[in-house]
Chains A and B, each alone.
Chain A
Amino acid sequence: MNYRVKNLMAKSVMQICLLFFVVFLAFPLVWMLSTSLKPNPEIYSRIPTLIPKEPTFDHFRAAFGQQDLLSGIYNSFKIGVLSSIVVLIITVPAAYALVRFQTVINKSVMAWILVSQLFPSILIIIPLFVLLRNLALTNSHIGIILVYTVWSVPFVLWMMRSYVKAIPIELEEAAFIDGCNRLQVLSKIVFPLLVPGIVASGLFAFVSAWNEFFFALVLLKTPKLTTLPVYLSRFTGSEGMTRLGPLAASCLVATIPTLVVFTFLQKGLVSGLMSGAVKQ
């Protein structure tokens, strides 16, 4: 009885904490929604309102009035999805190889990860650009997908390494003893256990491509190829002035695809496959 009461209390405390986190993290989305529906004088009013007094769809009309918003969302989506797929394809096997075979490659890869994460990326852009131009890959989606792929490889590799490490090697050895070959061990034991990690890393790769601004700004010169963050920056003017209404409306529209991706992928994060694999 006592145990159940305690359990219930712990549950309610946790429930409240979760609520707090959700409010803290999602508040800006709510505020953005509210801003996108307010007429200008209300946005700049001295007493802020959460629920617009005179809601208007003008800002949405302005946001959708320009074709570019939708093409920006489309481009970002395409680039994000493709680059995260490429990242996973090249990185997951590499991560496994790096953990399970300790060789000289490991140390250089680790050193590279450190340097690539720490060196100011803005100083890399110029040599990178020259390189891409020589390969005729500037002003193209292929070029930027390559850049984003290489850009998220260090993180994905680093994380995948620790997910691989978290798999007890005994599981693999047991499977070998049971007569499985390496391919079977990989597909039946290792891969299912890695699914949540792969999903998390894929999400990361997608989001970092989706959000990236500077490379997209300088690499994609033709307006038709532009990605979303570059599109959104046009609502800011000189002296820190911003057209908040249309900006909030565009942002809200632009956040929806990502949320859909999240919804879709969150199942993968909670993988039911594992318990089965472990029991094997």
Chain B
Amino acid sequence: MSSRWSIRTGLLLALVLVLGLTSLGYAEPVTLRFVSLAWQEQSVAANLAIVEEWNKLNPDIQVEYVQGSWDSIHDYMVTSFETRDVPDIFHYESAQIIDFSQRGYLTDLSPLIPEEMKADIFDGAWQSVSNEEGQIFGIPFLWESLIVLYNKDILEEAGIELPTSDNPWTWDDLRRVAKELTKDFDGDGEIDQWGAAIPLRAPVNRIMNLTLGYGGGYFQKVDGKHQIRVGLAEKALLQIIMDMIYVDKTAYPGAVGLSGTAVLPAFYEGDYALIPGIGVWARQQIVENAPADFRWGVLPPIKGVSQAQGANPQTLSIPKDSKHAEEAMEFIKFFLTKENMAKLALGDWMFPTRESALALPEFQTDEAGWKVSSETVQHLVMGPWQDSPAYAEWKDRVATPVLQELFSNQITVEEAAQRMEEEGQRILRRYQ
């Protein structure tokens, strides 16, 4: 009898203790874990500075900065979600955010986002992190577009008239100019200066993002189900690239196996005049690595029927298992004020998604092609493949090898289109 009593008293005591501790704990400072993917020196510094400032201003909500890396973030986050040991805020990109949200990993941020932020960030950016029900799973904050780089000396010498944002080149214009710029100086039958180089080592994202300019999206939704369609619009871009490489012989065929970074050294040497469809980040590589006397510039994106391009902004999200979603959102608001967002964007050579930040003079200067690059933002839209759970597998297993075979001239555009559709069927079935 007495032992039972003592057990009860013990339990009661324990309960009081636990309650007491939790109420005490309420005043304890909260620690938020923030996984950042910044990796350029300036942007890491900007990240750290903002976090430090926050920690000074908010003694109750301390943020712990964790340095993530692009190579491993996916595995890191999947493991975190599955073991429910999550960071409170993490940095990633919209294409993956939609996938995570479909698995139920993320907090819907739509009720937490302030009006001011909602209005200031471009709609194209919001689109890429929202679902059809209007839920929002990440705050887009940095984005990039595909631009055209050119060698100033070569184009000036050839007297080429440069396109402007209002009057851009079409792909046919590009083809014509590339012909003019392709030269065999010593007449030995080998080309010494190519009109263009299109880096196609990992071709799928580049090609699909650019195909939107022809009005083609590869993926379509019919009755709520995704279908893969490689029609006229999709084939148009593939054909013109093939023609430039193998018919006109004005695009450097070696670039088929090169990544965006790998085409640059020969660009500095004047081996090719233009690099169409390269990310804006490449400008930073040039500024840091090119010889000091190298003269270059940025041209607006090439036009198909429009200059539309797929966008995949970098985002900040809050996992569903985070115990401090509201505090985390407070931090995000501070982290992404106009000024802070501008600092982060400059550090990574990308664009801020806030209209007000993009209007700041540092993004509108002619230096390093900022102005022309910034103007591309208006063309960014969300690709229709982004919310298809089958996209990742289709990209690795089907589209990448098929496009690689196509661009090394082993199959025709027709065959490539057919294979991408047919082999895609089996994969689509798996996820529906």
Contacts and interface: CB of A to CB of B under 8 A. Distances in A.
A236 B71 contact: yes
B246 interface: no
A214 B75 contact: yes
A168 interface: no
A41 B269 CA distance: 12
Contact of A45 (B64, B87, B265): B265
Given A233-B71, A235-B39, A243-B39, A46 B80 contact: no
B290 interface: yes
B69 A239 contact: no
B54 interface: no
A125 B85 CA distance: 13
A139 to B, nearest CB: 8
B contact face: mostly helix, strand, loop, or mixed: mixed
B418 interface: no
B131 interface: no
30 contacts: A44-B265, A62-B41, A126-B79, A126-B82, A129-B79, A130-B83, A133-B83, A133-B85, A213-B72, A214-B75, A217-B76, A218-B75, A218-B76, A218-B79, A221-B33, A221-B85, A222-B64, A223-B64, A223-B65, A223-B67, A233-B69, A233-B72, A234-B69, A236-B39, A238-B37, A238-B70, A239-B260, A239-B261, A240-B261, A241-B261
A223 B264 CA distance: 35
A contact face: mostly helix, strand, loop, or mixed: helix
B82 A40 contact: no
B66 A237 contact: no
A89 interface: no
A40 B68 CA distance: 24
Interface string B47-82: 000000000000000001111111110011001101
B337 interface: no
Contacts of A133: 83, 85
B79 A125 contact: yes
Contact of B72 (A217, A222, A243): A217
B266 interface: yes
Interface string B79-111: 110110101000000000000000000000000
B281 A239 contact: yes
A130 B84 CA distance: 9
A45 B87 CA distance: 40
Interface in A15-69: 40-41, 43-46, 62, 68
A122 interface: yes
Given A40-B288, A44-B285, 10 more contacts: A126-B82, A126-B83, A129-B79, A214-B75, A218-B75, A221-B85, A222-B64, A239-B259, A241-B285, A243-B39
A138 interface: yes
Interface string A235-251: 11111110100000000
A68 B290 CA distance: 30
Interface in A166-207: none
Contact of B67 (A126, A129, A234, A238): A234
B145 to A, nearest CB: 14
Contacts of A44: 264-265, 285, 289
A129 B83 contact: yes
A239 B279 contact: yes
A71 to B, nearest CB: 13
B203 to A, nearest CB: 13
Given A62-B41, A238-B70, A218 B65 contact: no
Contacts of B290: 41
A218 B70 contact: no
A43 B289 contact: yes
B254 interface: no
Interface string B282-310: 00010011110000000000000000000
Nearest to A126: B82
Interface in B374-429: none
A240 B66 CA distance: 21
Contacts of B269: 46
A237 B64 CA distance: 21
Interface in B9-62: 33, 37, 39-41
B265 to A, nearest CB: 5
Nearest to B82: A126
